[in-house]
Every structure is written in structure tokens, then in C-alpha cells.
Structure 1
């Protein structure tokens, strides 16, 4: 009923007016006929019987009063519904204005944080026997000195139990962090603050701001962040990385081993996972049997994680749609995850085929 009134109120009002005029015309016609031909009245020109005229008035009063009463109630209902619609429209406009103001405040804070982060990055300095390094060059130098150790490479290529390896990796990183942590501690705190700020806010186009944040990091910054976020003291940075797909630009071939990719959920890599140049079907023949096995394990775990994530996002979209809320972000993520599942499936198939081939 309310939907009919809201969408066709002008037509309904015209119909009520036409019904009222029709009833008046019908009443006048009946009255004219009765007064002109009724027995004992002799028309308007004849003698009038007050008793019969009273009876006639009672008849028309009993007939028309309920009709006009009903029309009055319908008119009141129309007015109430239209007023309700106007109030809802005002409420929607107020909510839209509030969201616009909130988004504007978010953008201002976000870009201020990015500018501050660049200032912090430029202040990072590392001095060694080869000279003084600043900014990204210092990060590059730190990664080369900290993560090219033979023991690290061997452990990364031969780990099996996830929790045991993470504990070892955490200790390894902490030993290095004692040496260089004072140089980059404020840098990582800045990353954690920005990533958490974007991750925790319920905003439209979150993927857009995540891309802007990803664009702030060089390849060696991403590699350093890869190990840093696995620390026990990273304070949720790993969760933000996975939620925002901050490793989309990470080149897996720069890691000590492909199997390390399984330490993060697949969404951490976004659509960048298809850029595994060394794992594409046309390059699979370049991998040894051991590397194929580790890469296959990583691809299997990521495909399973991606499928679970897809089911979760689909369920969230269904709930939001049922509640009449915006689910644009969920629709975009579902489309991206569906593409990713397909690509991971093809990658897994290519690696499985390569593993089944006999060694030459």
C-alpha cells in the first residue's frame, strides 16, 4: 500500500477527486429523478411533503456520509504517507552529507599521513664502510645485510612445520632488529598506523586508497615488510597487509623461497600473484623437482585460502543486500577473488603437470 502511494500519489489523488465528483453527479441525478417522478411529490412544482423530503434526506445522508468519511480517511492516509516519504528523503540526504563529510575528513588525514611517512622515510640513514645511505637506498642496504645469510636461505628452503618455522624466523629477525631496529622503528610504526587507519575505517572505495598506499613502497621495502610483519610485536600489521593486499607488487622471485608465500593469506598478494614469472606454465620447466614441490604446496594453500575468502565475502554481500545496505566493495572483491581463484587453479594444474613429468 505504502509503495503504491509513494510511486503513484498524483494518480491516486486524481482518482479520489474523480470518484468524489462522480458520486456527487450520481446523487444529484437520483435526487432530480426522485423529486420529479416520485409518487405524492409531483415534482418540484407540486406540493412538497416534509415527511417524505426528510426520509429522502436521511436516505442520501446514509448513503453519502460513509463514502465521504472513507474518502477523508484515504486523503489523511495519503498525506501521512507523503509526509513520511519526505522525512525519509531528508534523512537520506542528511546521511549522504554525513558520509561525504566523513570521507573528506578521512582523505585529509590519509594524505597527511602519507606525507608524514615520506618525511620519515627520507630521514632513515645507514652508514657503513661503503658510505652513507638515505631513504629507500638505506632500506635496500639493510635488506641485503640482514636477509642474505646462508642459514636463512637454507631454513627457508627446507621448512615444514609452519609454527616452528615462524618461531625460528621471529628469533632470526629479532637478532637482526637489535642491530638496525633503532634506524627504522619509527618507519615501521608509520606503516602500521597508516595501514591500520585504512583497514579499520568503513569507507567506500577502500581498494583505491589501498592502491595509493601500496604505491609508496619500493620492492625492497615490501621485502623488509614481509619479514617485519611476521614478528610477534608487529601489532596487527600482517592482518592489515592481507586485508589491503599490500603485497600485490611483491616479486616472489626476490624472496629466499617461493614456499614463504604461504605464510600470508592469498589476499595479501591481490592480483599480483599472476606475476609469478618463474611459476608460469611456460617457465615451469626451469624449476627443479624440489622447487616444484614447494611451489605446488604454496599454490595449494593459497587457492584454498582464496576460496574460503570468496565464500566469506559472498555471505557478507548477501547479508548487506538483505539489510538494504551498500555492498559495492564486496561486489568488487568477489569479482577480483573469482579471477584469482581461476588463475591459481591454472597455476596449480601447470605445476602438477610439471611434477608428474619424468626428470630428463
Structure 2
């Protein structure tokens, strides 16, 4: 029913032609009546007055109807133009919001890359420094084998030793800020958010991913861990690493 209603009720062409038709009928009907009654004779000025009254009586109502229909046509056309303008405004606003998000997001990615390039550990720079830190955590884990029996506690303690020795906490704070920015974007659906998470993840080396994994296991980054679990941050990228395979179940606990 609604589709049928839209075909005529909201169609300005229908009302426009209805108005034109009413106007045409207003002009034709008086002459049609005279023709059908064979009464075309006028008796002087008095006849003209009578004919004027007759013509007005048979046409004014139709002319009024025609005016109403044409005004209705104008109203419908104006309503559609306003609706189109509103839709264009909404679409433009969405585009501007999306562009603003993209600009901020990629600026944050650039900041992340600058932070990585600025890292220096034992003569190692950038991503090599992060790979070195990952190696240090694994070495500490092996050295602590006799001191700590529980494997999870041993890995966390090994990571904490490296974390305290080398200053790289700002790296994780920035990573969490990017993840939180994506997660709180109200105009993005879950699929779009996962796509941006994927773009972020593509910037990271295996060493970085493993450090983020160790950091998520520690008690210091509970909120970060929640975002990692929500978006399956590691996906299958670390499946070849034995440490990840052994300890990934602890992320959920």
C-alpha cells in the first residue's frame, strides 16, 4: 500500500497534471453545456451578463480546485528539494567526519612510527630495538627457569625486568591511545573498526607484536588487553611463535 501511495500521493507530476486538467475543464465545460443545450444565442447586453454569471458559476470552482492542486504541486516539489538538501547535508557531514577521523588516525600512525624510530636499546635502533627487547624477554625467561616454576609468572616477571631496565612505556601508551581512538569512534561499525585495527597491525613487526603480547599478559595493561581481545588483535600472525602458542590462553584469564 505504501509503495502505491508513493506513486501518486507524493508525486508532484500527478498533482500538476490534475491542476492543469481542472483548469482545462473549467474552460471547456461552459461551452460544452451550451453546445449540448443548443443555447448559443445572446440577447444584447443582458445576455452577456447572464452568460457571465453562467460562465463564472461553472468555472470558478474548477479554477479554485486547479489553484489548490498547483499550490500542492509546489509544496510537494519544495518538500522533495528540502529532503534532498538535507540528505546531501547528512552525506557531506558523514564524509567530513570520516575525513577528520582518517586524518587523525594516520597522524597517530605517523607518531607511532616516529616513536619506533626514536627507540634505542644497546646500539639497536627502531624496530631492531624492539626485536632486541623481545629477545631479552625470552632470555630472561630461560634464566628464571630455576627461580620461578609457574610458567606464566615466569614470563611476566621476565617481561617486567626488561620493562624496568629499558624505557619504552610510551610506546605502549601510544598504542593503547590509537586502539582506544578506533574503539570509541561512534560513526564506525565493527567491520570498519576492524579494518583500521588491521591497518595499525600492518605497521608492526613480529618483535613488536610479541612485546604487545607480553605487555597484555601483565597486570599493568588490563584495559589494553580488553581491546586486544575484543578485536582479535594478534589474529594468526604469531601462530608460528612457540611462546605465543604456549601462553595465548592466558589472555582470556
User: What's the TM-score once normalised by structure 2's chain length?
Assistant: 0.74
Q: How many residues align?
A: 240
1:138 is displaced (CA, Å) by 2.2
Q: Quick check: 2:19–2:68 contact (8 Å CA) kept in 1?
A: no
Aligned partners of 2:42, 2:244: CA distance in 1, in Å? Answer: 114
Q: Which runs of 4+ in 1 moved over 6 A?
A: 47-50
TM-superposition CA deviations, 1:71-105 (whole Å, max 9, x none): 33332222222212211222222222222222222
Aligned partners of 1:216, 1:69: CA distance in 2, in Å? Answer: 71
TM-superposition CA deviations, 1:222-265 (whole Å, max 9, x none): 12212312434326323333444432352223143646444558
SS of structure 1 residue aligned to 2:98: helix
1:307-322 correspondence runs (5 A): none
Match of 1:106 among 90, 101, 105: 101
5+ long unaligned stretches in structure 1: 38-42, 157-167, 266-360
Higher relative contact order, chain-length normalized (CA < 8 Å, sep 6+):
2
Aligned partners of 2:74, 2:158: CA distance in 1, in Å? Answer: 75
Match of 1:30 among 29, 33, 38: 33
- Per the alignment, residue 239 of structure 2 pairs with 252
Q: Quick check: 1:122–1:135 contact (8 Å CA) kept in 2?
A: yes
SS of structure 2 residue aligned to 1:87: helix
Kindly indicate whether residue 81 of structure 2 is the aligned counterpart of residue 80 of structure 1: no
Aligned partners of 1:86, 1:153: CA distance in 2, in Å? Answer: 73
Aligned partners of 1:259, 1:74: CA distance in 2, in Å? Answer: 77
Aligned partners of 2:90, 2:148: CA distance in 1, in Å? Answer: 54
- Per the alignment, residue 131 of structure 2 pairs with 140
5+ long unaligned stretches in structure 2: none
- Per the alignment, residue 189 of structure 1 pairs with 173
TM-align CA RMSD: 3.7
Question: Relative to 1, partners in 2 of residues 1:95 and 1:263: Cα closer, same or farther, differing over 3 Å?
Answer: farther
1:30 is displaced (CA, Å) by 0.7
Question: Relative to 1, partners in 2 of residues 1:100 and 1:227: Cα closer, same or farther, differing over 3 Å?
Answer: same
